[in-house]
Structure 1
Amino acid sequence: MDLIINMPIYNSIGQQYSKTRIPDIRIVNTLIDLLNLPKGSIIADIGAGTGGYTIELAKQGFLINAIEPSLVMQKQAVEHPQVKWFSGYAENLPLPDKSVDAVVSILTIHHFSDLEKAFQEMHRIIRDGTIILLTFDIRLAKRIWLYDYFPFLWEDSLRLLSLNELINLIQKNTKRRVEAIPFLLPHDLSDLFAAAAWKRPEMYLNPEVRAGISSFALANPDLIEQGLQLLTADLSSGKWEKKYGDIHNLTEIDIGYRFIRATLDN
């Protein structure tokens, strides 16, 4: 089942989005490596948000068509001469056929209302280049402490397609060979998406951080409050450290995040 975010909610959670969803250089570098394109190539960034990764790619010499349905998000973007902004949805991209060299979509496909249509649209607008997605499959994840305090994060993610189902859907609708590349989350990510602060539990007590995570914004406030009260108490008493402190020995962790690269067979 796809997760559908209606625009009023997303306009609301996007108000301060650019403050906590700062593009992480390791994600940027991985994107560039996977794209393997010369400067001057045209890239469609679908679900570009506030343009964090859009601008980073533009700085590397790419021409970016940024597609984003939320005007609240678009207005937070920094202007760049190599970025053109378009209002639109993944299921009906406002770009001509075969008009881009590659497509990227970063932590967005769980927001799409119709994945099959979205992948068909990616196939329509791209020439013979690569489609790069960053997504996650909770089934591949180690069940870390976060889900003990906020179990709805785990339960809601189980509604999404599995990685294998997703790969099959992409192959069917883009006529491309698909591979998944694990993205182990560093301990100091600047882009504070859902599991990014896995080693920094106090970050989840910050309402500004939670506001930039759609899973929190869409959750039952009572369930969030229960988790916050328990997490606050356990951090204060030392119970969290006693139970989960071993996580401090890790510098990166696999919590189910994957880059997906879809390429045409040569």
Structure 2
Amino acid sequence: MSIYNSIGKQYSKTRIPDVRIVNQLIDLLNLQKGSIIADIGAGTGGYSLALANQGFFVHAVEPSIVMQKQAVEHLQVKWFTGYAENLPLPDKSVDAVVSILAIHHFTHLEKAFQEMYRVIRDGTIVLLTFDIRFAQKIWLYDYFPFLWEDALRFLPLNEQINLIQNNTKRRVEAIPLLLPHNLSDLFAAAAWRKPELYLQPEVRAGISSFALANQDLVEQGLQLLSADLRSGEWTKKYGDIHNFKEIDLGYRFIRTTLDN
């Protein structure tokens, strides 16, 4: 989306692909090395690069030039400027499609899924998405309640699955992504055990729900969080979260496969 031309200028500094997400993605794709994968909403190309480093060829599709310019060049990653709803790729030209935490930015999900179906051959579509209705309501949403409220406006997981099934003629399954406590990809809830990271402007700049929010509300939450961390109040109220090594915060892989 064009919004990333303004908010995505330092995106690659905090949105570093996490090797565990990459490995799970590859397991779900179940492809031979040398296969061609379309990465839709590729951003700065972190996951495209990770897939290329594992022996795949990647067609990275991203509308934001600002994001594309941050990409690390790789001989097996080819960039295309375009939107999910009108992919600049030929019919049946790729072996698989991935989209990592991007579909909530698509303007027309039905058309986007139709386009994924158009460009893929017989392979798998794997999306990483979220439905906050499955999430534990952790401390983050006490300080920044707009994050919870905004996420509730996104399509429920079952509606996402129904849209995909209806537009790709494939069998669909959802697989939970439990978030470890030391993720390198600092998306919205990734720092669930490291509250101090949300005080860093560059971390918030890489999270669209922060960057697009009412900044007065963000500032209110930051002041309260900062004060509670200094006083020890945060640890007193929420410190038990350090007992968890991973947590379900509503993130899900959606995988589509042919019925055979």
Q: TM-score range by the shorter chain?
A: over 0.9
Aligned to 2:56: 62
Aligned to 1:227: 221
What is the root-mean-square deviation of aligned Cα atoms in Å?
0.6
Partner AA of 1:261 in structure 2: R
Q: What aligned pairs does 1:14-93 form with structure 2 within 5 A after superposition?
A: 14-93=8-87
SS at match of 1:234: helix
Structure-1 separation of matches of 2:116 and 2:252:
19
Aligned to 1:259: 253
Give how far 1:13 is off: 1.1
Structure-1 separation of matches of 2:150 and 2:242:
27
Count of residues in Structure 1 that have an aligned counterpart in Structure 2: 260
Q: Are 1:145 and 2:121 matched, yes or no? A: no
Deviations 1:139-168 (A, max 9, x none): 000000000000000000000000001100
Shift >6 Å, 4+ stretches: none
Give how far 1:262 is off: 0.6
Structure 1: any 5+ residue segments left out of the alignment?
A: none
Q: Are 1:168 and 2:186 matched, yes or no? A: no
Structure-2 separation of matches of 1:239 and 1:164:
38
Structure-1 separation of matches of 2:212 and 2:43:
17
Q: Are 1:205 and 2:199 matched, yes or no? A: yes
Give how far 1:68 is off: 0.3
Give how far 1:129 is off: 0.5
> In the alignment, which of 91, 112, 115 is matched to residue 118 of structure 1?
112
Q: Are 1:99 and 2:117 matched, yes or no? A: no
Partner AA of 1:35 in structure 2: L
Structure-1 separation of matches of 2:60 and 2:191:
27
> In the alignment, which of 193, 214, 233 is matched to residue 239 of structure 1?
233
Partner AA of 2:96 in structure 1: A
Give how far 1:234 is off: 0.6
Give how far 1:226 is off: 0.4
> In the alignment, which of 145, 162, 187 is matched to residue 181 of structure 2?
187
Structure-1 separation of matches of 2:4 and 2:51:
24
Aligned to 1:10: 4
Structure-2 separation of matches of 1:194 and 1:21:
10
Structure-2 separation of matches of 1:257 and 1:248:
20
Deviations 1:84-135 (A, max 9, x none): 0000000000000000000000000000000000000000000111000001
- TM-score under structure 1 normalisation? 0.97
SS at match of 1:210: helix
Give how far 1:10 is off: 1.5
Structure 2: any 5+ residue segments left out of the alignment?
A: none
- TM-score under structure 2 normalisation? 0.99
Deviations 1:31-71 (A, max 9, x none): 11000000110100000000100001001111100000000
Partner AA of 1:144 in structure 2: I
Structure-2 separation of matches of 1:240 and 1:11:
35
Partner AA of 1:155 in structure 2: E
Q: Are 1:128 and 2:113 matched, yes or no? A: no
SS at match of 2:174: strand
